[in-house]
A and B are shown apart, each in its own frame.
Chain A
Amino acid sequence: MLGKIDLGELPDYLRAVTHRPEADKFLRAAVKAGLRLQQNETAEEGGGTPSAGVRTLQRIKASLRKQNFNRKKICETK
């Protein structure tokens, strides 16, 4: 059964959450934003899953490469 809670016995993180709910909300949002920034960075460096913008560019690049290849092939047959 819960009796009187001695605030001195609460772990630091629990005390922070109990007393500052807005800080906890902020913290969660900040970590989420940081992880997203990290993912974007990884995508720009070429590792991991590329972002939507990078994927579009890669598709355009592949399509251009294919067009050039086909054009070359036609020129050679002529």
Chain B
Amino acid sequence: MRRSDNQWLSAAPWDSVLTVNKALCQAQKIDPLNSANGYEPARRLWEKSLEKSMSLPEALDVCRDCHELRPFTFNNGNTFAAIGRTLVEEQLKSVPPLEAQILRTTMCHYIVGLIDRKELLQVLRHFESLLNVNPPSDRTAAEEPARIAPVPQQQRASA
């Protein structure tokens, strides 16, 4: 396990994903329906990744992959983008508002497939100095920038 990895998805069990989708559908006055093909694979992928320690780009990959599986009939993009951007909300509190907004938008665009991984990593690398980043301990970590450090509370819990 890399020093800078974190259990990004642990605060968001699959039930939370369902609740977010339900809330978004209710706001549009539509029934929150699940898709017959994508629901089970997406749920399995999410639950498998829930307690895994991973880097931020890897956690965003899970959101992106689940979005691609289209588990819901409506609001797939908004559901996973909302979950993804909320994962880093604590860390973004220490970043200036404009830069935080750029990071949020980039992450949302990555999750819904509007930009690719290369672009995501470029943006994360650009803001690396603003984020509370742990120094990379190996070559792999150096290639993947912006491994945002876990929030202090989680650091204490894992220690």
User: Which A residues form the contact surface with B (CB < 8 A)?
Assistant: 12, 16, 20, 22-23, 25-27, 29-31, 33-35, 37-38, 41
Inter-subunit contact A35/B81 (CB<8 Å):
no
Whether B82 sits at the interface, judged by CB under 8 Å, is yes
A23, B9: Cα distance in complex, Å: 10
Within 8 A of A (CB), among B71-121: 75, 78-79, 81-83, 85-86, 89, 108
| Interface of B (DSSP majority class) | helix
State which size class the interface on B falls in: 20 to 34
In angstroms, how far is the closest chain A Cβ from the Cβ of B145? 24
Inter-subunit contact A27/B78 (CB<8 Å):
no
| Interface of A (DSSP majority class) | helix
Beyond A23-B13, A33-B81: 15 further Cβ-contacts under 8 Å?
A16-B13, A16-B15, A26-B11, A26-B12, A27-B20, A29-B86, A30-B12, A30-B82, A33-B85, A34-B75, A34-B81, A37-B81, A37-B108, A38-B27, A38-B78
Whether B33 sits at the interface, judged by CB under 8 Å, is no
A61, B20: Cα distance in complex, Å: 37
In angstroms, how far is the closest chain A Cβ from the Cβ of B73? 15
Whether B23 sits at the interface, judged by CB under 8 Å, is yes
A30, B23: Cα distance in complex, Å: 10
Contact of A31 among B11, B19, B85, B108 (CB under 8 A): B19
Whether B16 sits at the interface, judged by CB under 8 Å, is yes
